[in-house]
Structure 1
Amino acid sequence: MTTSAELAAAPSAPAGETNQHYDLDPEIFGLFLDPLRKYSSGLYRRPGLTLAEAQVAKLHFVADRLRLAPGQRLLDVGCGWGSLILFMAREYRAEVTGVSPAGRQHEFIAARAAQLGLTDLVSTRVGKFADVELPARSFDAVTMLGSIVHMPDVDAAVRRARSMLRRGGHFYVSESCFRNAAAREEFDRRAGTEFVRNSIFGWGDMRPLSELVRAVEDAGFSVTSVDDLTDDYRRTIDDWLERVAAGAAAIDELRPGTSAELTRYLEVANAGWGFTTKHYALVCRNAR
């Protein structure tokens, strides 16, 4: 598990590359996310699912796509508040490692792992994926749920992911994408896109799915599945918006103005689904 000394020693990223959104007070996220603090699309494939149920369904979906089994090693790049790694350790008894540049997330994960009795299965690394030292060819699965958008060199990120995997291991990427190259050209510099990129995340580059497919193919992966999760993410954000509205006073008490900022960000995201943007889950196998 990451120590407080490691957190103190971790270098800061340049301002333009710092995903400052993820270093907000974790209690803010607890007020509008599900109890696991999963900050990516849920899976609403049965009627009447709550946000919490949809997020658990999504985590089981990821495990199924990875063919995850007890004792396997999983690397989650951009591990957020630990929802995926803690779940896979608890429910599948996988040995999990999370990577994130946001120091507060590691502190939160360490505390939750201790509470759940998972410290023997859960570890984290502070820093950017490109810079963190990790053992090559030692993982059975690598996941990136909504994190590759924050990596400037998508080809290098995918190559590094493959270098982490043993032969036969699986790579799962779920990401919001422009619908196609023409939509990216037209909408990438619109006011709403720039607000989300600069005011919320500090940096991000949303790409068409075709660029992600090209990157994984060029890296040597075999693509095994592509799932369209666009409507699932729209419904997830609808639920988040309801929770932001319900918790606005408490959110703003922690950080004034944050509820309005979150509302604008989430409304911008939901406005584009199916028109300018899509959300996909891309799964690949390291076949050689």
Structure 2
Amino acid sequence: METTQYDREEHIFTAFLDPYMKFSSGLFSSHETSFENSVIEMLDFLLDSAQISNGARVLEIGTGWGCLIKRLKERFPHATYTGVSPSAAQITYVREHVDQQAPIHVCAFELAEVQGPFDAIFLSGTFCHLQDKFLQLERIFNLLAEGGRLIIEDSFFRSRQAMEVLRECSARGEVQTAMFGWAELMPLSSLLDISESIGFHLVSCRDFTDDYERTGKEWIRRLAKSALSYPAKKDMLFYLRLANNGWHRNAYCYALTFERPRRVDMPSVLELVNKEA
């Protein structure tokens, strides 16, 4: 198996990430927001979007370097957390620096034997890595409690046309796969179609493209100034610059909140029509 960014040693990421080690967008609420605070604001936004409270049952698909569980434990120490990650390097980091008892399934979500129900499920930068997205979203729907929320923070193609053009760019695809692992971005409209057919209710959708672009520029600045040695520094700088160049041109970043509706015993439209007749 080829090494991707998820398998690289932590020192590469500590060279440019924030103390929470979040490898996706921050939230810059103003021009004065610092890089470090933007990460905390984004994590709080995600947790608040899921309506997390103490005692909540949380599943994270793709733990990364532990940013979500770290913030979750700070704000809601009595919430229960389950993670899924195929990266041994990241799981080791989480257990050494965040929570040594963190229950994490060491495999891809497609292979994880996870038992619900959960009050909230998070995919932060990991939805694009799911194989057979319809099947996995259907599974996620069934893992949620009624009224439970799914939070997806990820990149999406600007349009179907942009998707087709970029898929034909083999050089870009090779760079992405080498650094990022297998991923399949889709237009936002495709996700909305799939989620609607499964039965999800869309609660909110927020555009974070500008925030992610600003985050990427901060990563590049910090990495360029770091003492990280070559070739790791050169390779990561190339990837970050390539990725950050695509915002608005090819892709947008969105954070979406979906809900599994509660069952409501109501007559169907046909029944109401027949009753009125």
The residue aligned with 1:98 is 83
TM-score w.r.t. length of structure 2: 0.90
Partner of 2:223: 244
Change (3 A) 1:67 1:114: closer
Q: 8 Å contact 2:110–2:131 — kept in the other structure?
A: no
- For residues 139-218 of structure 1, the aligned pairs below 5 Å read 139-190=118-169, 193-218=172-197
Q: Partners in 1 of 2:155 and 2:221 — Cα distance? A: 21
CA change 1:251–1:205 in 2 (3 A) is same
Unaligned runs of 5+ in 1: 1-14
Match of 1:8 in 2: none
Post-superposition offset of 1:113 = 3.2
Counterpart contact for 1:19–1:203, Cα < 8 Å: no
Aligned to 1:126: 106
Kept after mapping to 1: 8 A contact 2:4/2:178: no
Offset at 1:191?
A: 5.0
Q: Tell me the distance in 2 between the aligned counterparts of 1:243 and 1:54.
A: 15
Question: 1:68 aligned to 52, 56, 62, which one?
Answer: 52
More deviation in 78-87 or 90-99? 90-99
The answer on 1:24 being equivalent to 2:34 is: no
* Cα distance, 1:19 vs structure 2: 7.0
5+ residue gaps in structure 2? 263-277
Cα RMSD after superposing both structures: 1.6
After TM superposition, the runs of 4+ consecutive aligned structure 1 residues lying more than 6 A away are: none
Q: What residue is the counterpart of 1:79 in the other structure?
A: 63
Give aligned-pair identity as a percent: 32
Residues 41 and 236 in structure 1, CA contact (< 8 A), matched pair in contact too: yes
Is the counterpart of residue 34 in structure 1 residue 18 in structure 2?
yes
Q: For the residues of structure 2 that align with 1:210 and 1:196, how far apart are their CA atoms?
A: 26
The answer as to whether partners of 2:56 and 2:119 remain within 8 angstroms in 1 is: yes
User: Aligned to 1:130, what secondary structure does the other structure show?
Assistant: helix
- Distance, in Å, in 2 between the alignment partners of 1:135 and 1:72 is 15
